[in-house]
Amino acid sequence: MGAPEWRLLAEKIRRLALPKGREALGSFSLEGYRSVERALANGAALEELLISERLAHSERGRDLKLKRRASEAAVPIRVAPDSILEALCDGRGLGETFAVCRIPERAPFEDLFRPHTLILLGWNLADPGNTGALIRSALASGASAFLAVGTTDPWHPKAVRTSMGSCFALPIYRMSEEAFSPSSFQEAGWQLAASVCREGIELPVFKRSTAPLILLMGSEAFGLPEELARQCDHQLRIPMPEGVDSFSVNAAAAVFCYALLHGNGRA
């Protein structure tokens, strides 16, 4: 592998750390041997793979599984000095392997419409780590898709890392805050449920209908806007002991999704 090849790829990965880079290139980066394995296993559209010299010459690097899968998918592999990958991973310790992946195109949102469908929606999530955690919880709970609205960025490197490969196995849709219209979804037969901390229906006593449901989760700091919550068909809350403000957004999403799909929340 020539030096210009890995240098160009390393610079591309640096660009993809920024939203404008992801938007311009239509791609995102992923980091870590396991994440790349899961991306290949799920047929993700990987464009290039960057591995360290240390990994390339290690016992794990000589294992042909990753290389074979990359070769079968026609993904070029570039080998770069260890220092380059260490700089790219910024001390996280996962930087033996990086890859560039195309942002997937998704089928029309309406294709998900079916009885008991549950879609998890992240509304203006500021922390990409929370976004990745919600995607992971959505997949593990059996949700049908994840809808990222506003500043919620499922392709931020931290979101991709935190999803632990779930972003390759779950349909992910993005739309602007302005484009999200509760009434449009309701007219199409969807019900909307807002997660709230107070004054909502307690989750253990809520009985959902067979209508497909979109569960809205707000940010850690601000939650959902009150006006948006009022436009939803249901406002749901998880009972908590006196004096407790809230669950973390990921813990709450996991509780909501599991209950609505498998517990008393399913009619």
Could you give the domains of the chain? 3-102 (3.30.1330.30), 109-262 (3.40.1280.10)
Residue carrying the six token digits 């599984």: 65
33 or 155: which carries more pLDDT confidence?
155
Residue 22, CA distances (Å) to 14, 36, 141 in order:
10, 18, 29
pLDDT for 199: 84
Token reading at 183: 């009434």
The model carries a pTM of: 0.91
DSSP state of 199: S
Residue carrying the six token digits 């089928």: 107
Q: What is the mean pLDDT of residues 81-108?
A: 87
Of 93, 110, 5, 104, nearest in space to 50 by CA = 5
65 or 178: which carries more pLDDT confidence?
178
Alpha helices in the chain (DSSP H): 3-15, 19-25, 33-41, 53-56, 59-62, 64-72, 82-89, 128-141, 157-162, 182-187, 226-231, 249-262
pLDDT for 20: 96
- Mean model confidence pLDDT for the chain: 90
Q: How far is CA 112 from the centre of its chain?
A: 17
Segment of 87-96, 213-222, 239-248 carrying the highest mean pLDDT: 213-222
pLDDT for 256: 96
Contacts of 114 (CB under 8 A, 6+ apart): 212
Q: What is the mean pLDDT of residues 80-90?
A: 91
Token reading at 152: 């919620």
DSSP state of 168: G
Q: Is 69 exposed, middle or buried (0-12, 13-18, 19+ CB in 10 A)?
A: middle
Token reading at 173: 């849709």
Q: What is the mean pLDDT of residues 133-161?
A: 96
Give the phi and the psi of residue 82 in degrees, each rounded to 5. -55, -40
| Predicted confidence band of residue 265 (pLDDT cuts 50, 70, 90) | very low
Dihedral sign, Cα of residue 227, residue 266, residue 244, residue 137: negative
Give per-residue pLDDT as tens, 209-224: 999 999 999 998 889 9
pLDDT for 264: 55
Q: What is the mean pLDDT of residues 216-243?
A: 92
pLDDT for 121: 98
- Integer Cα distance of 30 and 181 in angstroms: 32
Q: Is the pLDDT of residue 122 over 50?
A: yes
Q: Is the pLDDT of residue 99 over 80?
A: yes
Token reading at 127: 């922390």
Give per-residue pLDDT as tens, 159-206: 999 999 999 999 999 999 999 999 999 999 999 999 998 889 999 999
Comparing 54-58, 142-146, 169-173, 233-237, the range with the smallest average pLDDT is 54-58
